[in-house]
Amino acid sequence: MPFPPLSGPIDLHTHSSVSDGTQAPGELVREAASLGLGAVALTDHDSTAGWAEASAAALDAGIALLPGMELSTRIEWASVHILGYLLDPANEELAAETARIRSGRRDRAERIVERIAVDYDLTWDDVLEQTSPGGTVGRPHIADALVARGFVSDRSTAFQTILHWRGGYFQPHYAPDPLTGVQLLRAAGGVPVLAHPATGGRGKVIPEQNLAKLVDAGLFGLEIDHRENTPDGRARLHELAGKFGLAVTGSSDYHGSGKPNRLAENSTSPAVLEAILEAGTGSAPVLP
Ligand code: AMP
Ligand code: FE
Ligand code: FE
Ligand code: ZN
């Protein structure tokens, strides 16, 4: 696809109120434009429901918009997130799987709230009040309810205490395994990139044999420049990217005021964006 030169930084990982960000999709896109970004991807957890609003805002504000999603997958207790760009939102297999994940997330949030309610005066309605209709429910909404009730001062504190997996209330949610995730995204014409793959301690990243299987299934890249990747982990990921010929991306994982991450605090090169635009066949970007 012919690709006009973009003037500002490219941020390929953001969340709106369709999942656990704090701004509506259009508001997020307008903020990105006003900060001078050249392109932004909307990657809500397990949902494409924000695409239409984000696209309209991008056209209006003169910024490029890459429609995307952050797909939840899991290996035992460890969650593995896979960013998918330019996928077909109407693809039946992918739409069915994301519906199943969203419903699993909701059930799991209810189970977490049941456990918390033993020790704190918190109800499921308190949590529902923090979500948007049809949106993807996550621990951040439980965090917001705990803040509203005055049990913690902000989301980050909630994650470090009551919502921490060691906090005693944690429950996992349904998600497919990462190989299935990559296959689903590719089959929907999407471009899969492993999100923040080095957040574990001691530079621990995905074992090489497992990565090889994801690459065979069509994995396109690794999100290496992300604030939560450890320095040792990043070095290892660069080796793996070189070995497997994977693209390297950088992004903010912006969640509005819900997380300290700022738009464009990390960014992706225009060459990699262009490669993603060439590889994605399931939907069209908005180009200014
Ligand atoms: P969940 O997917 O429901 O297990 O919740 C984890 C999600 O919470 C991840 O997507 C994080 O990015 C998000 N999150 C939002 N705000 C925060 C925060 N302040 N601290 C940690 N995680 C956060
Ligand atoms: Fe999130
Ligand atoms: Fe993530
Ligand atoms: Zn994210």
pLDDT tens string for the chain (288 positions)? 446 677 899 999 999 999 999 999 999 999 999 999 999 999 999 999 999 999 999 999 999 999 999 999 999 889 999 999 999 999 999 999 999 999 999 999 999 999 999 999 999 999 999 999 999 999 999 999 999 999 999 999 999 999 999 999 999 999 999 999 999 999 999 999 999 999 987 778 999 999 999 999 999 999 999 999 999 999 999 999 999 999 999 999 999 999 999 999 999 999 999 999 999 999 999 998
Please state the atom number of ligand 1 nearest to the C-alpha of residue 105.
3
Q: Which fold has domain 106-167?
A: DNA polymerase; domain 1 (1.10.150)
| DSSP symbols for 206-238 | --HHHHHHHHHTT--EEEEE-TTS-HHHHHHHH
| Strand partners for 221 | 193, 247
CB distance 256 to ligand 1 below 6 Å: no
CB distance 156 to ligand 1 below 6 Å: yes
CB distance 21 to ligand 1 below 6 Å: no
Q: Which of 142, 163, 259, 262 to mutate to test the pocket of ligand 1 (most atoms within 8 A of CB)?
A: 259
Per-domain residue ranges of the chain: 106-167
pTM of the model: 0.97
Q: Is-contact 34 265, C-beta < 8 A? A: no
Q: Nearest C-alpha to atom 20 of ligand 1 is from which residue?
A: 156
